[in-house]
Amino acid sequence: MTTSTVLAAAGSVSGGEAVTFWILAPLALLGGIGMVAARNAVHSALWLVLTMLCLGVFYVLQAGPFIGMVQIIVYTGAIMMLFLFVLMLVGRDSTDSLIETLRGQRVAALVLGVGFAGLVGTGVFQALEKTTAVGLEQVNAEGNVQGIARLLFTKYVFAFELTSALLITAAVGAMVLAHIERRKQDKIDQPSTMRARFAPGNYPGPKPGPGVFATSSSVATPARLPDGRLTDRSTPAILPQRELTAEETSLKGTNN
Amino acid sequence: MSLLLAQDPTLADFGQDPWWLVLGKIVFAFAFGLLATLLGVWFERRVVGYMQVRPGPNQVGPFGLLQTLADGLKMAFKEDILPKAADKVVYFFAPTISVICAVTALSVVPFGPMVSIFGHHTPLQVTDVPVAVLLLLACSSMGVYGIVLGGWASGSTYPLLGGLRSSAQMISYEVAMGLSIVAVFMTAGTMSTSGIVAKQAHGTELSIFGQTIPAPGWYAILLLPSFVIFFIATVGETNRAPFDLPEAESELVAGFMTEYSSLKFALFMLSEYVAMVTMSAVTTTLFLGGWRAPWPITLWEGANSGWWPMLWFFGKVIALVFVFVWLRGTLPRLRYDQFMRLGWKVLLPINLVWILVLSGLRSIEDWDSRGKLIAVGIPAGILLIATILWPSRRPKTKPTTQEQVDNRPYGSFPLPPMDLQVPPSPRITRVVAEREPANIVAGSDSREV
């Protein structure tokens, strides 16, 4: 008798299973409620992680160790981690506002949600109350993993492959939408940058600073070259060049 | 031989222990994790010290063995700083998540075979389940939460960047890690750790062209590509150098643990070292034969029975921890994009191709030798022909300095040649006489200045 069959013998609930269930089920519910009630998006995600972990343990209890572990690895480990990744990029201060955009929306959602849960719960309970589970021993006869693999790669191989094709299509679609085409000639490497810098028509040195003189402190004032000419390169292109009057451009003597 | 085989625990041997034995095993695994941290930090500092030609810690206790203990005690009495912008609950829980996940993984590591403890015949392993290796993967993927949440909850920039980096890093390397375990599953036919150790006991009999050759049992030899990729992914997964980008000192101060101090910081340190030891133990279990003795020791009959295998197990783990330290002492840290490229564009494709080849080889195992020859020979031949006929890119001949000068358009500024070499010092005797002058063009370009 292996561990998994000890945990969930068909039809009867063992003591350990019951104890684990009654500890984890309130936690799972708490996680669900916390996810909706939390103001902070990251806290919401963490409550959901709690619920998913509890679900994973439930699967293990129900003699499905493989699906339980996959639940933890894939959903909790990868998908929720991606969620967190996005939420953290959004920023930690982004909390929900308390203002209701639709009047009475929260109360209505609460009533409908509780009503729906009640309906589903009672329905499932009524339907399954007198039913005894059968066939668990048979499907897990050669091991849980082997049983799943046998079904997945024989009977359900087509559905399985279709699902993976769907997922890959979605992933490729997202990549195509997010991809920005960059042609090869748009990428300039270091040697060609240097060649362009020293090519004729381009001045390789740094640009001169703006001409901030005693008469003017504006960055729009062009600087002077050694031969006395003004240079356009010293002023930013978006600024209008300031016209200097004849008085401003004339040299200021000291002794007259 | 039958006596030796009886030492191998099977899944049916688990779940039979009395409660005190289970408790004892759990305490042992936990204490192993803590002790491994205490000694591991000392070991790492001593080994890195030796590699860098300095003594390392040698003051506290014999050979400085108690240095980590002293540091830990001191750390406990430091002020516990809680940043103003921190998310208090998450900030508190993040280090605990890390430690819990790192320690839990030790519960399915087999330390040894069946032994007798106070009359109970029991395996030296806390527990084993049919999906034990998946449990290890789950633990390592949950361990990311500690780092990511610690980075986020600190409420400042560097920790957040460290947390984001680490989540991307761990998810990427988990893929490579999971794929390399697939090869082990395929060969062993089981996911339970004790089962995988048992399967590595005896080499499978390979029959090639009518001759039976006993292959070695260790999956590290049998599945060498998987082993190499798994170990690289392990280094990435445990945030160890050269993949310690989440805590890159030169870029992010201390990454996700910048704001942590006192015992919370100690917990992060603890989880890092426990994870390193756990991953070494897992690598030992999956690829290095677990607690089984290597060849020269197996000449002694009782090598794989009783309590001795624990010694071989610890020896292998220490050897792997040494490799971790060795890598840290040798390799510089990778840049982030190089690291991601290695994970997604190198490790992953190699792994996929290797699994394809392996499953192909396994599916032709039952064929007759002629069919095998055809099945292996045709793809190998195609590969060989493709390799020979693949157009090789001829490197362009470098233009000489004079050609470079001549090719410059009129009006260019004078510039040194692209392959300018630093002229030798005039003080040393010149050996090479006919060296081309570097600035041959200085005179001819004077018209452009």
pLDDT digits (tens, 9 = 90+) for B291-321: 877 766 666 677 677 777 888 888 889 999 9
CA B259 to each of CA A89, A93, B81, B90: distance values in angstroms, whole numbers, following the listed order = 19, 18, 8, 13
Average pLDDT score over residue span B76-90: 85
- Among A88, A92, A200, the residue with its CB nearest the CB of B411 is A200
Q: Given this model, what pLDDT does residue B341 score?
A: 87
- At A163, the pLDDT band (50, 70, 90 cuts) reads very high
Structure confidence at residue B211 (pLDDT): 62
Give the residue from A69, A66, A71, A58 showing the smallest Cα distance to A7: A58
Give me the pLDDT at residue B214, please. Answer: 58
Quote the minimal CA–CA distance from A88 to chain B in Å.
Answer: 7
Q: Are strands A230-231 and B112-117 parallel, antiparallel or unpaired?
A: unpaired
Whether residue A145 is predicted with pLDDT greater than 80 in this model: the reply is: yes
* The architecture CATH gives domain A15-91+139-177: Up-down Bundle (1.20)
Residue tagged 């293990």 (tokens): A60
Q: How far apart are CA A85 and CA B22, in angstroms?
A: 39
Candidates A52, A61, A69: best to mutate against B (most CBs of B within 10 A) is A69
In 3D space, the residue among B356, B443, B5, B400 whose CA is nearest the CA of residue B182 turns out to be B356
Q: CA dist B407 to A112, A152, A190, A197, B258, Å?
A: 80, 66, 19, 16, 55
- Judged by average pLDDT, the poorest of A104-118, B147-161, B268-282 is B147-161
Q: Which residues of B267-285 are buried (b: 16+ CB within 10 A; e: fewer)?
A: bbbbbbbbbbbbbbbbbbb
What's the pTM?
0.74
Rounded distance, CA B143 to CA B255, Å? 16
CB contact under 8 A, B152 and A88: yes
Q: What is the per-residue DSSP string for B348-392?
A: HHHHHHHHHHHHHHHHTTTS-HHHHHHHHHHHHHHHHHHHHHSPP
- Residues B409, A81: C-beta atoms closer than 8 Å: no
Rounded Cα distance, B411 and A219, in Å: 31
Residue B428 burial (C-beta neighbours within 10 Å; 0-12, 13-18, 19+):
exposed
Residue of A nearest to B415 (CA): A198
Q: Where in chain A is CATH 1.20.120.1200?
A: 15-91+139-177
Beta bridge partners of B122: B115
Flag whether residue A1 sits within 8 Å of chain B, measured between CB atoms. yes
Report pLDDT for A31: 92
A236 touching B, CB under 8 A?
A: no
CB contact under 8 A, A1 and B12: yes
**0.85 surpassed by complex ipTM:** no
> Quick one: tokens of A184?
């090869």
Residue B70 pLDDT greater than 50, yes or no: yes
Suggest the residue from B131, B174, B191, B193 to mutate for an interface test with chain A (most A CBs closer than 10 A). B131
Query: Which amino acid is residue A54, in one-letter code?
Result: C
Q: Which pairs with CB-CB distance under 8 Å and at least 24 residues apart come from B312-318?
A: B313/B111, B313/B112, B313/B281, B313/B284, B316/B280, B316/B284, B316/B288, B316/B289, B317/B277, B317/B280, B317/B281, B317/B284, B318/B43
Question: Looking at residues B231-253, what average pLDDT do you find?
Answer: 80
Residue of B nearest to A40 (CA): B87
Q: How confident is the model at residue B109 (pLDDT cuts 50, 70, 90)?
A: confident
The percent of residues in chain A predicted with pLDDT above 90, rounded, is: 17
CB contact under 8 A, A65 and B131: yes
What is the C-alpha separation between B121 and A3, in angstroms, rounded? 18
CA-wise closest residue to B237 among B322, B323, B140: B140
- Name the percent of chain B lying above pLDDT 70: 85
Please give the structure tokens belonging to residue A51. Answer: 């619920």
A49–B130 C-beta distance less than 8 A: no
In angstroms, the CA B15 to CA B25 distance is: 12
Residue predicted with more confidence, B123 or B213: B123
Q: Give B206's strand partners.
A: B213
pLDDT 10s digits, A168-188: 999 899 888 887 777 777 777
What b/e string do you get for A67-86 counting C-beta neighbours within 10 Å, with b at 16 or more? bbbbbbbebbbbebbebbee
* CB environment A156-165: b (16+ within 10 A), e (fewer): eeeeeeeeee
Amino acid at the residue B316? K
Chain-chain contact of B138 with A200 (C-beta, under 8 angstroms) = no
Q: What percent of chain B has pLDDT over 90?
A: 6
